[in-house]
Amino acid sequence: MSRPRRGATALSGILVIDKPAGITSHDVVALLRRSTGERRIGHAGTLDPAATGVLVVLVGSATRLTPALTDAAKSYVARITFGARTDTDDAEGEIVEVLPVPSALRDKEYAGGVIAGLLGSHDQVPPAYSAIKQAGVSAHRAARAGNPLALASRHIEILDAGLLGIVSDPDVSWDVSFTVSKGTYIRAIARDLGTALGTAAHLSALRRISSGRLSLANAHPLDKVTDAGRGCARFFADPVEALGLPFRALTPHEAERVRVGAPLASNEVLESGCEVLLAMADDDRLYALYALGPDGRTLRAHTVLAGGVKR
């Protein structure tokens, strides 16, 4: 079987991959480019190599939806192991500190209270080994070269957190569910939690269970999708549901105008100048995102998706 020609194809859609452990998010993108022949492929939120679960991949003109989908809150199930800190803040790194574990960390009531107390806004320093760049230099490359970057703290929010259980054989570990804002590192939460509790800690397992409105229920194994090649379109998620935007069905005349980004008269009840986006679609494809213009009567193109994104 010949390899598909690289370049542009007619593919345009959203894939939800259940990423396996041991490969990077970039590896997933590269495999899909190879299997489909489509170069315009990206993802909406990196997963570390050791992590598994929901990786939202955008194909073709759907890559124009990256900002909207990357900004979505993300949910995880994590295992935080106490007693040792690593240079990467997860189990992939080298142990750099070992400290005793307070006996209170084995108590479920205590642990549950600590996790509940994490809710809210925080300033978080990203891990030294991360994809963040400064002056074009990746933090993880600088750290591996022995010259770690001084990373500034970021404002993040822990929207939900709950203790799922405690494992005490042989190490003390907490299984925790988190829902967090864009840009939050669960590895850094584990690291900082260890410090706050008078010990050391690292992230020993992580599975992303949702990204915005897309979850494991929408996800497909990577090998199943790559084996399908250009037939992977049958696995595309509905972009209208994924975005969760107000939906306007189009008449044939409106569809022609939307495809070229022409303005439309508004029949929506929206406040003038608001930033609410509308998804313009028919039963088969999402063609564009529109927003109410400053006059309060005209819908103007925000994002036009060449050829539309398959629903």
pLDDT (tens digit per residue) in 177-234: 999 999 999 999 999 999 999 999 999 999 999 999 999 999 999 999 999 999 999 9
Greater confidence (292 vs 172) lies with 172
* 144 and 44, same domain (yes or no): no
pLDDT of residue 2: 42
Cβ partners under 8 Å of residue 274, min gap 6:
292
Alpha-carbon Rg for the chain, nearest whole angstrom, is 22
* 227 and 190, same domain (yes or no): no
82: pLDDT strictly greater than 90: yes
Q: Would residue 18 count as lying in a domain?
A: yes
* 197 and 258, same domain (yes or no): no
* 136 and 198, same domain (yes or no): yes
Mean pLDDT for the stretch of residues 65-76 = 96
Q: Is 7 helix (H, G, I), strand (E, B) or coil?
A: strand
Choose among 16, 14, 15, 18: nearest CA to 207.
18
Label residue 221 left, alpha or beta by phi (over 0 means left) and psi (-120 to 50 means alpha): beta
Q: Would residue 38 count as lying in a domain?
A: yes
Label residue 103 left, alpha or beta by phi (over 0 means left) and psi (-120 to 50 means alpha): alpha
* 193 and 294, same domain (yes or no): no
Q: Please give the DSSP secondary-structure letter assigned to residue 129.
A: S
Q: Would residue 89 count as lying in a domain?
A: no
Question: Which domain CATH number covers 225?
Answer: 3.30.2350.10
**Lowest mean pLDDT segment, chosen from 86-90, 176-180, 189-193, 251-255:** 251-255
The Cα 229–Cα 4 span in angstroms is: 8
Mean pLDDT for the stretch of residues 119-134 = 88
Q: Would residue 133 count as lying in a domain?
A: yes
Q: Which domain holds residue 128?
A: 74-82+94-204
* 128 and 155, same domain (yes or no): yes
Cβ partners under 8 Å of residue 14, min gap 6:
56, 57, 58, 59, 62, 65, 69, 214, 236, 237, 239, 242, 309
* 38 and 106, same domain (yes or no): no
* 230 and 251, same domain (yes or no): no
* 107 and 50, same domain (yes or no): no
Length, in residues, of the chain: 311
Tokens of 10: 């007619």
* 221 and 177, same domain (yes or no): no
* 228 and 165, same domain (yes or no): no
Mean pLDDT for the stretch of residues 262-290 = 78
Examine the fold and report which residue of 151, 181, 204 is the final residue of a domain before the chain moves on: 204
Q: Would residue 3 count as lying in a domain?
A: no
Q: In Å, how far are 24, 45, 97, 189 from 141, measured between CA atoms?
A: 15, 19, 22, 22
Q: Would residue 290 count as lying in a domain?
A: yes
The Cα 144–Cα 269 span in angstroms is: 54
The Cα 85–Cα 74 span in angstroms is: 25
Active site residue 284: no
Examine the fold and report which residue of 204, 229, 261 is the final residue of a domain before the chain moves on: 204
**pTM of this structure:** 0.90
pLDDT digits (tens, 9 = 90+) for 7-38: 679 999 999 999 999 999 999 999 999 999 99
Greater confidence (133 vs 98) lies with 98
The Cα 287–Cα 65 span in angstroms is: 11
Q: Would residue 1 count as lying in a domain?
A: no
Cis previous bond, 170, omega within 30: yes
The Cα 253–Cα 233 span in angstroms is: 27
**Lowest mean pLDDT segment, chosen from 38-47, 160-169, 288-297:** 288-297
pLDDT of residue 251: 85
Q: Is 89 helix (H, G, I), strand (E, B) or coil?
A: coil
Find the catalytic residue in 18, 27, 48, 223: 48
The Cα 54–Cα 192 span in angstroms is: 25
pLDDT of residue 37: 96
296: pLDDT strictly greater than 70: yes
Q: Would residue 123 count as lying in a domain?
A: yes
Neighbours of 168 (CB within 10 A): 10
Work out how many domains the chain is built from and give that number: 3
* 183 and 276, same domain (yes or no): no
Share of the chain above pLDDT 70, in %: 95
Q: What is the mean pLDDT of the chain?
A: 91
Question: Which domain CATH number covers 278?
Answer: 2.30.130.10
